[in-house]
Structure 1
Amino acid sequence: MTSPQVQLNHTVVHSSDRSASARFLAGILGLTVGAPFGPFLPVDLANGVTLDFYQAPEGPIQGQHYAFLVADEDFDAMIDRLEAAGVTYYADPNHTQPHEVNGLFGGRGAYFDDPDGHNMEIMTVPYARP
């Protein structure tokens, strides 16, 4: 039996200010914000997945985790942009090792919060699966 060909196409990122949140993440990752699409403000990733920033109704935003596989040669520039923006990055998802980078699976990685408290991760090597 063959496996179905299933790919993630897009996901909605709830935000208190879709424009500020989309610009923040796009700026850190070195991407651009697309034209509005209905109530969404898209940021397209290299693998065809779109993050659709959506301005949620009033109330608290439930923080989510988003992990981005990035090229090793782009990693330092992303860290530089975090520092320039005054955003603390961490080596761990629990944010106990500030201004440090991890070396998981022979790559480099870091975590940081976006303006709504989503736990963002950049990593240069994907996590190994058994």
Structure 2
Amino acid sequence: MSISFNHTIVAAKDAEASARFFIELAEAHPVESWGPFTNVQLDDGVMLQFAEPPIDFPPQHDSFLVDDAHFERIHVRIQDRGIEHWADPQCTRPGETNTEHGGRGIYLLDPARQFIEFITRPYR
């Protein structure tokens, strides 16, 4: 068997809100949850397990590769919901998308204040 990414645990102040964010905005799929986790699954089978830690935690950055049509749907939802977003990780280009690496990209914060990036082309 070759190696592939299976799942990650994401610290969330409100696990349900974070899971709903990915389901509604990015078209992730709700799946059975257990223990301290609220789970969603991406189309490639990777599971995001949201958990509410008892202590404060530093933010993390996660990037998701989507096709152009999926990116456009996400971008429309971001705009329709008035979600603050940027074209760059330094947050100096508010309300924009970037066209770096031969595709489009956008940065935003999820409900747990984790830095999320959606891109249409992988970095090379």
Which TM-score tier does this pair reach, normalised by the shorter chain?
A: over 0.9
Tell me which residue corresponds to 2:24. 27
Q: How far is 1:85 from its partner?
A: 2.1
Q: Tell me the TM-score normalised to structure 1 length.
A: 0.89
* Aligned 8 A contact 1:15 1:116 in 2: yes
Q: 1:53 aligns with which of 27, 50, 53?
A: 50
Tell me which residue corresponds to 1:70. 66
Structure 2 unpaired stretches of 5+:
none
In structure 1, how many angstroms separate the alpha carbons of the residues matched to 2:32 and 2:2? Answer: 29
Could you tell me which amino acid in structure 2 is paired with residue 20 of structure 1? A
Q: 2:111 aligns with which of 103, 115, 123?
A: 115
Could you tell me which amino acid in structure 2 is paired with residue 37 of structure 1? W
Q: CA RMSD in A?
A: 1.4
1:95 match: secondary structure: coil
In structure 1, how many angstroms separate the alpha carbons of the residues matched to 2:83 and 2:119? Answer: 17
Tell me which residue corresponds to 2:12. 15
Deviations 1:17-39 (A, max 9, x none): 10011101221102232221221
In structure 2, how many angstroms separate the alpha carbons of the residues matched to 1:33 and 1:53? Answer: 12
Count of residue pairs brought into register by the alignment: 124
Identity %: 38
Tell me which residue corresponds to 1:36. 33
Could you tell me which amino acid in structure 2 is paired with residue 11 of structure 1? T
Could you tell me which amino acid in structure 2 is paired with residue 99 of structure 1? G
In structure 1, how many angstroms separate the alpha carbons of the residues matched to 2:27 and 2:2? Answer: 29
* Aligned 8 A contact 1:88 1:112 in 2: yes
Q: Tell me the TM-score normalised to structure 2 length.
A: 0.92
**Runs of 4+ residues deviating >4 angstroms:** none
Deviations 1:46-98 (A, max 9, x none): 222111011111x3231000100001111111011112222111100111101
